[in-house]
Chains A and B, each alone.
Chain A
Amino acid sequence: MSAHDHAEGHLPHEPEKATLDARNKILGFWLFLGAEVVLFGTLFAAFLALRHSVGDGPTAGELFQLPMVFGATMILLTSSLTSVFAVQAMHHHNKKSMVTWLIVTILLGLAFLGLEIYEFVEYVHEGHKFTTSAFSSSFYTLVGFHGAHVAFGVVWIALVIGQVFKKGLTVVTAPKVYISAMYWHFIDVVWVFIFTVVYLMGKVAG
């Protein structure tokens, strides 16, 4: 209805919540996140149950390198900050700065993925393949699933940027930016539990 009345520069204060449609999208997204929480919960439960079942394969303590995990954590944490800066730029109706922060977020996401791929390749070389043990299967399923979420987020944010370029920052595109940033934060929140439960606790248990 009012989507076309809001030319750029006449955006409401919080353009992501300006229309009923947008508010419904945000609510729907929270419901989706609830389902995601449960999904990751099941993967964490499986991993926690199986993490000591290493068979002939390497244990978590032998495998994990804390500096690399710390680097990945820093990258993802920073990318969460840059995506919140993008939302903030959107609230200031500053499209250029918003897109810049989104691009920085994507680049950090790609860096994280690169590090994770490197890590997995390294593990396979050390004899930690998907089918090596119950521990390795549940590890790759959980961490790989998170990695897939990062990859999906990168593609999603890239598409949103494309749409913002095409249609400008409007009450229709603003909720998309907001929701994709929320998704990105969620990925970071899940990672907090992964580095705690998988890597740090794995290192403690030896």
Chain B
Amino acid sequence: MSSNHNETASGELPKRHKVEGPQKHIVGFILSLALTIIAFAAVAAGEINETFTYIILVAMAVVQVIIQMAYWMHMKDRGHLFPIIGIISGVVVVFTMVIMALYWVWW
């Protein structure tokens, strides 16, 4: 799937290594694009009720971030267990912090 443009300086990449093609990155891009457009359209339309719009927005953002991290930050490639654990623990800390700051401390 990826051998169509391999004529690089070396040109002798071992066959057993699959060098990734641009397809999956373009898939990631198109998905991100679609999610972004849905989010903007939901707000620009302005017809939908407020709570539902918030839910759409947060859902689109979360899905888009997962897609970008998986495709572009290579987290779906093997050997990324440690970064995944790290990011998830970071997200847990941030989520707790934001919720605490907003609901318990501020409001």
Contacts and interface: CB of A to CB of B under 8 A. Distances in A.
Contact of A88 (B22, B40, B101, B106): B22
A9 B94 contact: no
A73 B36 contact: yes
Contacts of A171: none
Contacts, number: 139
Interface in A159-206: 182, 185-186, 188-189, 192-193, 195-197, 200-201, 203-205
Tell me if A's interface is mostly helix, strand, loop or mixed. helix
Interface residues on B, range: 35 or more
A1 interface: no
Contacts of A45: 97-98, 101-102
A204 B50 contact: yes
A93 interface: yes
Interface of B: 5-6, 8-10, 13-14, 17, 19-20, 22, 25-26, 28-29, 32-33, 36, 39-40, 42-44, 50, 53-54, 57-58, 60-61, 64-65, 68-69, 71-73, 82-83, 86-87, 89-91, 93-94, 97-98, 101-102, 106-107
Interface of A: 8-11, 13, 27, 30-31, 33-34, 37-38, 40-42, 44-46, 48-49, 66, 70, 73-74, 77-78, 80-81, 84-85, 88, 91-95, 182, 185-186, 188-189, 192-193, 195-197, 200-201, 203-205
